[in-house]
Amino acid sequence: MTGAGAGAGAGAGAGAAVGVAVDAPAAREDQLFAALANSTRREVLRLLREQGPQPVQALADHFAMRRPSLSEHLKVLREAGLVSEERAGRQRIYRLEAAPLADVQDWLHPYERFWRDRLKGLGDLLDRMPDDAET
pLDDT band at 134 (very low <50, low <70, confident <90, very high): low
pLDDT-derived band at 32, boundaries 50, 70, 90: very high
Average pLDDT for the chain: 82
Starting at the edge strand found earlier in the chain, the sheet holding 54-55 runs: 54-55, 91-96, 83-88
Pick the closest to residue 103 from 47, 19, 42, 28 (CA basis). 28
**Which is more confident, 114 or 76?**
76
pLDDT tens for 102-129 read 888 888 888 888 888 888 888 888 888 8
Is pTM beyond 0.95 here? no
What is the Cα–Cα distance from 72 to 63, expressed in whole angstroms? 13
Distance CA 128, CA 131 (A): 9
pLDDT for the residue 108: 82
> Could you tell me the domains of the chain?
22-134 (1.10.10.10)
- Could you give the CA distance from residue 68 to residue 73 in angstroms, rounded to a whole number? 9
